[in-house]
Structure 1
Amino acid sequence: MTTMNQRMRGEPSVLVFDVNETLLDLESIGPLFEKLFGDRRVVREWFGQLITYSMTLTLAGRWESFFTLGQGALTMVGDIHGVEVTDADVEEIRHAMLTMPAHPDVKPGLTLLKDAGFRLVTLTNSPANPGGPSPLEYAGLAPFFEQQFTVETVRAYKPAPQPYHMVAQDLGVPPSSCFMIACHVWDTMGAQSAGYHAALITRPGNAPLPLPSSPQPDITAPDLPTLADQLIQRG
């Protein structure tokens, strides 16, 4: 098994996890979209708009919190579909985003990585939840991570370089010591452009982007235990 000393001689030792969809199951809020729009697949449309406009705000030099942006995107999708979105609908989906369960493979995979000596942290577009438990706490995942980072600190959304640099600087390690783990290519690409290594988990609805001009993930795996095995074997 790879030891920490081996990783310190060259292999990345800090695993930086995306949260929404990578660790937590976005499909769990599908029934709310089915109730509101008559089609649970609209959750994907809404989440896509949310990510698109988070990137747009950053590129335009502007900032709005992720949940506020999510509320605006929900109303926009409602207008597109001719569905009135009420304040109660917004609050129900906001609460659901804070209480999403973990994917079944996550705890076994995190246990493998923790036992192997990796440092585990998270980096999410979502804000902190000072009024209650974080989504990771609700899902029972918080004890695995030494820190939970949010892009709120630098007021720039992933895949801008600032959030990735913030994590490395706060932990006192070079970017090359960090390994981003996400199920979104835009996240792995952003991390690699900031000097990280990266791994892609191909959750349903996500796949590699085969562009010769773009950095490809160092590892691609269908679930976290498979990814953990590959990371451990790299040493």
Structure 2
Amino acid sequence: MPELKPTPIIVFDVNETLLDITTLNPLFERIFGDAAALREWFAQLILYSQTMTLSGLYTPFGELAAGSLKMLASTQGKTIADTDLTELKQLMASMPAHADVAPALERLRDAGLRMVTLTNSASSPAPTALDLAGLSQFFERSFSVESVKKFKPAAQTYQWVADQMAVQPSELIMVACHLWDTIGAQAAGCKGALLTRPHNALLPAANVPQPNFMASHLADLAEQIIAQTSPAQ
């Protein structure tokens, strides 16, 4: 009989991949007069989280989020009040799921695939953002980079998940709508599944790892993964 391959574990990014960050738009519209400032803030947040890791430093993601908001405001002559920071924290902790998420997770679960999450955000007491979004039921475990104090896409974050799940990195499939996340996962030995939500796309450049799976809708991405990996198929 042919040797059975181990069933992979699907590792989901959380912010923007599962949860809809555009619900923060009203805050940025009010402060900056333009909801598009959300994208600049988020890009700065990711840039400086990665800068901290490359520099051997660590500050919790939520603190970097608040600092990035203040930094962006200072470049545009805006003032950030304590109430703005409180609102940012509350909004980030209660972002709803994208409409395509729950049906896709249910399909993956019914196909016999194991699922966990890996986020740059710090862990929080219940109810968590995943609890509030009605998604926690789908996941065996939820991991935060705070345990290794290195933000994605540092290789140590993916290896740590593999160690905690007692598998090899090659048995993990990282699902994210950020190419930098799938690149990091693939460089660490995992497979990458890119969800091309708006504002996310491939990077056409030499030596950039191409995702093993890619789709613009999570249901389609789930079907691709199931077709190649599910023990129930």
Same fold, TM exceeding 0.5? yes
1:49 maps to which residue? 44
| Secondary structure of 2:56's aligned partner | coil
Q: Distance in 1 between matches of 2:6 and 2:105?
A: 18
Q: Distance in 1 between matches of 2:87 and 2:4?
A: 48
1:79 has 2:74 as partner: yes
Given the alignment, which residue of 154, 159, 175 partners 1:160? Answer: 154
Paired residues of 1:119 and 1:146 also in contact (CA < 8 A): yes
Paired residues of 1:202 and 1:223 also in contact (CA < 8 A): yes
What is the deviation of 1:9? 2.9
Given the alignment, which residue of 199, 209, 224 partners 2:218? Answer: 224
What is the deviation of 1:223? 1.2
Structure 1: give runs of 5+ residues left out of the alignment. Answer: 1-5
Task: Report 1:1-235 matches (<5 A).
Answer: 9-10=4-5, 13-130=8-125, 132-235=126-229
Q: Distance in 1 between matches of 2:191 and 2:6?
A: 10
Q: Distance in 2 between matches of 1:187 and 1:230?
A: 19
Paired residues of 1:12 and 1:176 also in contact (CA < 8 A): no
Structure 2: give runs of 5+ residues left out of the alignment. Answer: none
What is the TM-score when the length of structure 2 is the normalising length?
A: 0.95
Q: Distance in 1 between matches of 2:158 and 2:127?
A: 24
| Secondary structure of 1:39's aligned partner | coil
The letter for the 2-side match of 1:165 is Q
The Cα offsets for residues 48-82 of structure 1, whole Å up to 9 and x where unpaired, read as 00000000000000010000111100000000111
Cα distance, 1:11–1:202 mapped onto 2, change above 3 Å: farther
What is the deviation of 1:12? 5.3
Paired residues of 1:14 and 1:119 also in contact (CA < 8 A): yes
Q: Distance in 1 between matches of 2:59 and 2:202?
A: 29
What is the deviation of 1:10? 3.3
Q: Distance in 2 between matches of 1:12 and 1:177?
A: 7
Q: Distance in 2 between matches of 1:67 and 1:103?
A: 21
Question: How well do the aligned residues superpose, as a CA RMSD in angstroms?
Answer: 1.3
The letter for the 2-side match of 1:200 is L
Q: Distance in 2 between matches of 1:75 and 1:117?
A: 45
The letter for the 2-side match of 1:113 is L
The Cα offsets for residues 74-129 of structure 1, whole Å up to 9 and x where unpaired, read as 00000011110011101101110000000000001001100001110000000011
1:3 maps to which residue? none
What is the deviation of 1:198? 0.7
What is the TM-score when the length of structure 1 is the normalising length?
A: 0.94
The letter for the 1-side match of 2:42 is F
